[in-house]
Amino acid sequence: MELAFRGRKSFATQNVMAAVDFDMKFTYVLAGWEGTAHDAVVLADALERENGGLRVPEGKFYLVDAGYGSKPGFMPPFRGVRYHLNEWGNNPVQNEKELFNLRHSSLRVTVERAFGSLNRRFKVLDDATPFFPYLTQVDIVIVCCILHNWVVSQGTDCFILPENTLIPSPHTSASAQSNDHRLMVEKRQLIAERMWQDRQNHYGH
């Protein structure tokens, strides 16, 4: 069991899944899974919980990294296509998939900034050898997220980094690719094509 919490690091880690809104507030947090747990497994647990489970508002979807795969209510970037904001440089986007990934990455920076602020403010979350029992460690994560939300709601936060200092990762995985849901894949393609057409119309005038 201990090895499951170590994963790629030499110390124990949790897999914490969170949803973040555009104000950098945590709207859902599921803590406690072992560090080696696959993101898709953690998400499935969140969706299956009757009390305190993750619910996607009707007609909406979450932007997620590629580790979750495409499924109803969750839209990752296109794989095998430029994603990081710094990959474009002076090279403009070439097609609808690159444009979609560029905008996906621009929006997901919000998640990175929220987690960055959380970790900078609460150093206990970075403690490689936590003193507290496991269940207490899980509670600490939840409490820190609640306090983070309260601080952010009060106004300017010195712990939040500028957008251009963070680069979200697409986090690809082979296991997620095989579970892509056809309807969400088609919806993503449709959105990308509309974005591209709007861009072409804008620059064509």
pLDDT single digits (tens) 168-180? 555 544 444 445 6
Q: Is the pLDDT of residue 100 over 50?
A: yes
How far, rounded to the nearest angstrom, does the alpha carbon of residue 200 sit from its chain's CA centroid? 29
Average pLDDT over residues 182-186: 89
> The whole model's pTM is what?
0.78
Q: CA–CA separation, 53 vs 67, rounded Å?
A: 20
> H or E stretch including 151?
helix 134-153
Q: Is the pLDDT of residue 20 over 80?
A: yes
pLDDT tens digit sequence for 24-72? 999 999 998 887 888 888 999 999 998 889 999 888 999 998 888 888 9
Q: CA–CA separation, 158 vs 148, rounded Å?
A: 12
Average pLDDT over residues 176-187: 74
- Higher-pLDDT residue of 188 and 129 is 188
pLDDT tens digit sequence for 118-164? 988 898 887 756 677 888 889 999 999 999 999 988 876 666 666 55
Instruction: With H, G, I as helix, E, B as strand and everything else as coil, classify residue 63.
Output: strand
Q: CA–CA separation, 77 vs 64, rounded Å?
A: 8
Q: CA–CA separation, 62 vs 19, rounded Å?
A: 8
- Counting Cβ atoms within 10 Å, is residue 42 exposed (0-12), middle (13-18) or buried (19+)? buried
- Higher-pLDDT residue of 44 and 166 is 44
pLDDT-based confidence at 9, cuts 50/70/90?
low
Residue appearing with tokens 């009060």:
154
Buried-state track 67-101, b at ≥16 Cβ within 10 A, e below 16:
bbbbbebbbbbbbebbbebeebeeeebeebbbbbb
- Counting Cβ atoms within 10 Å, is residue 39 exposed (0-12), middle (13-18) or buried (19+)? buried
**Residue 24 backbone class (left: φ over 0; alpha: ψ -120 to 50; beta: rest):** left
Res 30: pLDDT? 94
Using alpha carbons, select from 112, 97, 98 the residue that is nearest to residue 167: 112
